[in-house]
Structure 1
């Protein structure tokens, strides 16, 4: 009995204080806002385009600018936290994100909106890795299942429901409210983090050793890479002189960045963390998570909007399914991660995600909500299991000194995976649509009775037109184009699902996580530099 009491006391003693828990919850909500805003404009680009008198190519920069700025900040955030403290960086990030959101809502020109979206992404980018790093620093390892379940839920659910939330807001209010909804939560997050999340002390002496050259090369490298991946597919890749130019700049900056980072004593990000096998594998899996997670958040609404003709609200209803599943699965997945081998859980999650993706390989032009319901359910369950287990496998063996840096790099890999995924999807869709068009067009032969009957049917229905024959031929061509488009989507769902299932074996290449000692019992736990 006395031993049980002592154990219970010890278990309670290694928990962070109530104020720190409140601050951490606020940081998680800030992380949710930052990730949500990546996709919140996805289903409302038409309204933004009309409101700002922009072209389709120009309006895409509302998303691209956010992503470029965010991906630069994510790896930088660990260094900033060591210099200024986690609390100060998170607070400034929340305040900056909120003010940038207000500026976005008040924008009257596309140029202003793009600049403020970049600022919004840059300020919000720090909240993502620092929240994850803080969880490993202040909570005992026995709590990691539940804590990482919450973080995993945020990281997977936020981009999944982003188009849904944005669609409802735009439908019932206006596009300005896509950004105004951040104001009150942003103020609350900044206030609670500043008052409650005092978990470490910054070292201003590190400013003297800040690698400005490495920082500059990293910003150019990641920013130009994101730009090339985002814009390359639409500009026919290297057929565009602009894409070719930025590809060369990206390559030169990458060489300079990696050389600088690997040869100085205090790099802006420490790539030596990749020597840890679990982290290197976790970053690889995180990259593929980004490909599928962000790829599907783009691919499914694209199909529903262009082929099925769904409105933004109807698209939101479909996407909301996986969000609900992830929300319901998160507590169960958290408990499961504390009871079974994380490698097995990762394998199961990868297989479920692959199966859920592959189930959409038989879509037709008439497919709608019902065709996506169960695949979304299975994918949602798999994705929360994958992200929860892989984050613990990747970061669980790192020292307190390396967790912040590792968390930033892990999140960069996931975002880069998303950028690569979108670029690949756009390119493959175009190639496969051309392939299927060439395969199907051969079947349109006036020597076939089915073709003749269909053409006559179209002519009869269009006999009020000046040239019903030509209009009928056009309708047949449009029908073939639609079928070619649907088949290209089917190919992508099949291939993405197959790679996930086959790649599930990588789970067993991880080393089993070693238990870490609980944080020392202090009034204010301190992060090591």
Structure 2
């Protein structure tokens, strides 16, 4: 029997007891509050803006200041795990995140808040990949599906319940509590991590850290994040956007060249040569587009088209989260019985279907009309998380998993960033065209346009053919803008559905894994 295979079996079959599950639950708690923080802050930005007197055109930096360092730290999870072990990386990250949350709550100015948000994002960036690494480092094969499902449920439940939590805090407490709610779970997670997580030995040396490569990676990801943020509003060919994206591309090329030639690379890019890992990462990218895009589009539609409050939006969005929770046991059962490629085909096919159903929304669509599309997407989410994770990480030896998890989770976040930029581009670029078209159709007496805008048919018929006076134009203009936004959002849903379907074409590239045969020893 080959010794390498014996070693791998021994490494991959740890003893799992209550302490292991408790330690994993502690890590999941830290990950949950880091993801939840993004969404609850997003729903309450107007309140923070008013409290701190932040200029409207600078408000988005409250989120960008978090997301940019988060994206940078995600691929460094493997390196940091080797330097200080998974246990101390988690404890340090969740501790700094908790302290930074207190700093955000105590901020009295825009600059102070941004500084603490940067620290929050940097510390939160390692928590998600650390949890998905723990799935494969702490549990044997037969328990990994359950562990991945638990992590996946929390990873998606956080942004789903975020609007409810953020809306309730905004309406009943002060904005400071958007950050202070992290203190108790963060403190308990840090203490639990010290006590419960395994005590490994560091396997890396600080002197091996390539600072030049790290700097190139930081500049590339930061410029990409800022460029994607500015592109939808300023335009993709404006000097600011082109300079950011150009700098990102140039430094990325330099980083790749240096990393591939390095003896101790900051990020193990060579893992992308593994076909299963590469396809799993592509699926993770598409999953990021879908998850981030859907969680963004629903509040935009309900807030700006339907005029709902953050708390009402959160209640409607709970349909997806509750469906996901209810079907999690089924997802685990399917993960054990189906090949990962079949699981991915089913999951991404369902998500594309749910997104296409949302592309039929009108200005009158509300809870009832959004119910079934949310149900279909809720059915698919766990499959869209389990399948790529199994494909990308399930076959790797333990020593490669921290680096692989960092790259894998980076792809999901990059998918989210790029997907949001594309969604915003569709909305910014198409609303004016739809508004012009609707106005022209109304002027020509088109009854379908009147129904789309929401003008009562009797009122429209009574004034058809008459020149519009200022009062009429003032009444109709907001209705046209609302209907144009709804039409643009429908096109964004079509974009998400299309991208989700396209990634399925990569599945035939995955080779079936041949199960190893055990040789009999004399």
Task: Note whether the superposition's TM-score is higher than 0.5.
Answer: yes
Cα 1:59–1:384 change in 2 (3 A) is: same
Contact 1:87 1:198 in 2 (8 A): yes
Q: Does 1:375 align with 2:387?
A: no
Cα 1:443–1:117 change in 2 (3 A) is: same
Contact 2:283 2:503 in 1 (8 A): no
1:148 aligned residue: 148
Q: Does 1:297 align with 2:289?
A: no
Q: Matches of 1:35 and 1:447 in 2, distance apart?
A: 49
Q: Matches of 1:292 and 1:449 in 2, distance apart?
A: 35
> Residue deviations 1:102-122, cap 9 Å, x none?
111111111111111110111
Cα 1:94–1:225 change in 2 (3 A) is: same
| CA apart distance, 1:426 | 0.7
Q: Matches of 2:514 and 2:147 in 1, distance apart?
A: 18
Cα 1:436–1:18 change in 2 (3 A) is: same
Q: Matches of 1:34 and 1:150 in 2, distance apart?
A: 16
Q: Matches of 1:122 and 1:128 in 2, distance apart?
A: 12
> Residue deviations 1:236-262, cap 9 Å, x none?
2332x4333323322221122111111
2:271 aligned residue: 273
| CA apart distance, 1:220 | 0.9
1:362 aligned residue: 360
Q: Matches of 1:514 and 1:137 in 2, distance apart?
A: 22
| CA apart distance, 1:429 | 1.2
Cα 1:301–1:444 change in 2 (3 A) is: same
| CA apart distance, 1:484 | 2.0
Q: Does 1:489 align with 2:489?
A: yes
Q: What does 1:306-325 correspond to in 2, within 5 Å? A: 306-325=304-323
Q: Matches of 1:454 and 1:16 in 2, distance apart?
A: 64
| CA apart distance, 1:502 | 5.1
Q: What does 1:154-303 correspond to in 2, within 5 Å? A: 154-203=154-203, 206-239=205-238, 241-303=239-301
Cα 1:309–1:338 change in 2 (3 A) is: same
Q: Matches of 1:248 and 1:317 in 2, distance apart?
A: 41
Return 345-354 or 449-458, whichever deviates more. Answer: 449-458
Q: Matches of 2:240 and 2:185 in 1, distance apart?
A: 39
Q: So what's the TM-score if we normalise by structure 2?
A: 0.90
| CA apart distance, 1:320 | 1.4
Structure 1 unpaired stretches of 5+:
1-9, 462-466, 519-529
1:3 aligned residue: none
RMSD: 2.7
Q: Matches of 2:314 and 2:245 in 1, distance apart?
A: 35
Structure 2 unpaired stretches of 5+:
1-9
Contact 1:345 1:389 in 2 (8 A): yes
> Residue deviations 1:262-317, cap 9 Å, x none?
11111100100001101101111111111110011111100111111011011101
Q: Matches of 1:476 and 1:154 in 2, distance apart?
A: 44
The number of equivalent residue pairs is 501
Q: So what's the TM-score if we normalise by structure 1?
A: 0.89
Q: Matches of 1:74 and 1:164 in 2, distance apart?
A: 27
Q: Matches of 1:106 and 1:357 in 2, distance apart?
A: 40
Q: Does 1:407 align with 2:399?
A: no
Cα 1:257–1:477 change in 2 (3 A) is: same
2:234 aligned counterpart, secondary structure: coil
Q: Matches of 2:477 and 2:180 in 1, distance apart?
A: 45
Contact 2:305 2:483 in 1 (8 A): no
Stretches of 4+ aligned residues off by more than 4 angstroms: 446-458, 513-518
Q: What does 1:118-157 correspond to in 2, within 5 Å? A: 118-157=118-157
| CA apart distance, 1:505 | 4.3
Q: Matches of 2:388 and 2:445 in 1, distance apart?
A: 58
